[in-house]
Amino acid sequence: MSKVLIIGSGISGLACAITCASRGINVILVSPFPSERSQSVLAAGGINAVLTGEDGDSIEQHIKDTLKGGCDIAGEKAVRGMCSAAPDIVRWLESLGTVFSRDSGGRISRRAFGGQTYPRTNYAGTATGKQIVTALVMEARRLEGKGLIERRYWTDFYGALIRDKVCYGAMLYSEATRTVEAVTADSVVIATGGQNALFGKTTGSTQCDGYAAGKLFSQGVDLKNLEFIQYHPTAIETDRKKMLISEAARGEGGRLFYEDNGSRVYFMEELYGAKGNLMPRDIVSKCIYETGKQVYLDVSFLGKDKILARIPEVYELCMKYRNIDITRDPVPVVPSVHFFMGGIAVGLDHRTNIKNLYAVGECASMYHGANRLGGNSLLAAIYSGRVAAGSIRDEKTDSPDWSREVSDENGRLEMKRRSESRFPVMYVRGMLADAVNASLGIVRNARELENGIKDIDYYLGIADKINFDRSELEYFTYSLEGILILAKAVLKSASERKESRGAHLRNDYPERSDAYNASTIISYDGGNYTARFVKEDEYEG
């Protein structure tokens, strides 16, 4: 029986672990904290699937909408696979006890989301991700009881064990023992989520920082489409973070407006008609940006009963963190970094360019092209986890000895630890966020991107000289270099794509260009970052 090491225990990691274990494969599921702390619990609005098609909707239409929303660079084979599997996935989640909302006929409730021809977002209030996590954790626990899944907490990813383009496991860091150890496995699955830490305040979890993608990149793993960073159109500003106002608020009828001389301008409806508020996120964010004004979201006309029944968490959030009663008043919203279409490059089977190394969920790039449709992320997280689990071959791999590498890395940590410096590494993360926000806004240009690269190069130049702050978790300190490397790869990718498409908008190249009707693959070799453009269908294999 083979062994798979899964790094990350959000929805994609859980789905992969459950599917592997159900095949009889032994799983080690690693995360610093329990799944309840994962970013997956923040996913609010729902999961896309055509369950009945009785209103004229079809899987073909789901595929078309997804490809169109992704601005025609997502691979059709991959999207077809995901959309076709979606109904089974929702039924599987239901069978595990996910508490979906129900309509009057007892069927799973669905709502309209942006970019959809028909409403197909199946939901559990506005806590769909949380309800799915609860169900998956319970199922994983059943398999833990059978000895098929072993969970390890307080454990961080340090690096992969890669030799001659084959992965043999990972180096893991324990905050309890403050040491690195090699954990060998026949396959490794990365399920570490997006790259929020690059930007500082986002709608996501502080735990999702992109370190694993950056570290793997430096170890020879290709990354893809990094420049496509989704700005969700509706977040509220708080002192600690930008908090998401779920697209469900607009799905239920919410309207966007700004004020001009005392009257409301419903600009999305003026631009795109009745469905204007539910255009894909890239378009809504761009339009908000172009107003140059404070934009508001109004749901008050829906009435208190409907608001409390359909979007209760949105009501609670606005009341608690901004003291705004959305049953009476509009809420000021701003676009916020929310989702990363780019990430680790994988093929249809979710394997990377390194043998036995897979990536799933938001840290992998697949399905969403240049812009993700709302409701497709939970679907992609589960689908990708199941696809990877189904692709992993149940066969043993003999691993070389890694004791020297482990000893070297523990030596490096020890050397840093002896430092008397108190310089907080979190300051560098803060400066990184400033640089990235300045250069990777909703609209970019060559000058800003070049400035960003210069800043990151400077931080990379000093990263190795920055001494550990002993009173921080060591993870924050050793992860800095990988995060900086990832940031540079994102900026390089954005520089290379000299067009505007989806979530990548440039005011120096404002038009879409057929020359870039492809995915960006970026590789790292000895400090050199090399980008190339590859047709998605070609890359998928």
Query: Which parts of this chain interact with another protein (CB under 8 A)?
Result: 33-34, 36-39, 41-42, 94-99, 101-102, 106, 124-125, 127, 130-131, 134-135, 138-139, 141-142, 144-145, 151, 153-154, 175-176, 205-207, 238-241, 243, 317, 320-321, 422, 424, 426-427, 430, 469-473
Give the residue with the Cβ less far from another protein, 96 or 406.
96
Quote the CA–CA distance of 343 and 341 in Å, as a whole number.
7
End-to-end CA distance of the chain: 28
- Please report how close the Cβ of residue 208 comes to another protein at its closest, in angstroms: 9
* Strand boundaries in 119-262, DSSP class E: 121-122, 149-152, 155-163, 166-174, 179-184, 187-190, 223-224, 229-237, 242-244, 255-260
Quote the CA–CA distance of 214 and 191 in Å, as a whole number.
14
Give the residue with the Cβ less far from another protein, 238 or 507.
238
- Please report how close the Cβ of residue 142 comes to another protein at its closest, in angstroms: 4
Which uninterrupted H or E stretch holds 85? Answer: helix 76-95
Give the residue with the Cβ less far from another protein, 22 or 238.
238
Q: What are phi and psi of 523, to 5 degrees?
A: -120, 155
Give the residue with the Cβ less far from another protein, 105 or 273.
105
Quote the CA–CA distance of 485 and 231 in Å, as a whole number.
22
- Please report how close the Cβ of residue 37 comes to another protein at its closest, in angstroms: 4
Quote the CA–CA distance of 308 and 313 in Å, as a whole number.
8
Closest CA to 491 of 227, 249, 305, 239: 227
- Please report how close the Cβ of residue 361 comes to another protein at its closest, in angstroms: 16
Quote the CA–CA distance of 477 and 459 in Å, as a whole number.
13
Pairing assessment for the beta strands 255-260 and 295-298 based on DSSP bridges: antiparallel
Give the residue with the Cβ less far from another protein, 139 or 362.
139
Exactly one of 281, 310, 351, 386 is catalytic; which is it? Answer: 281
SS3 of the chain: helix, strand, coil, percent, to 5: 40, 20, 40
Residue 521 near residue 539 (C-beta atoms within 8 A): yes
* CA dihedral of 466, 467, 470, 476, whole degrees rounded to 10: 40
- Please report how close the Cβ of residue 392 comes to another protein at its closest, in angstroms: 24
Closest CA to 279 of 72, 502, 82, 440: 502
Give the residue with the Cβ less far from another protein, 422 or 447.
422
| Two structure tokens written together for 158 | 């340090």
Angle (CA) 165 483 168, round 5°: 25
Helix (H, G, I), strand (E, B) or coil at 217: helix
Closest CA to 94 of 131, 120, 119, 62: 131
Residue 35 near residue 9 (C-beta atoms within 8 A): yes
Give the residue with the Cβ less far from another protein, 142 or 163.
142
Q: Is 328 a catalytic residue?
A: no
Residue 96 near residue 136 (C-beta atoms within 8 A): yes
Cβ-proximal residues to 52 (8 Å cutoff; 6+ apart), any chain: 107
Q: At what angle do helices 76-95 and 376-391 cross, to 10 degrees?
A: 100
Give the residue with the Cβ less far from another protein, 156 or 540.
156
Give the residue with the Cβ less far from another protein, 112 or 314.
314
CB atoms within 10 A of CB 292: 8
- Please report how close the Cβ of residue 334 comes to another protein at its closest, in angstroms: 16
- Please report how close the Cβ of residue 238 comes to another protein at its closest, in angstroms: 8
- Please report how close the Cβ of residue 348 comes to another protein at its closest, in angstroms: 31
- Please report how close the Cβ of residue 468 comes to another protein at its closest, in angstroms: 12
Quote the CA–CA distance of 236 and 244 in Å, as a whole number.
7
- Residues with catalytic function: 281
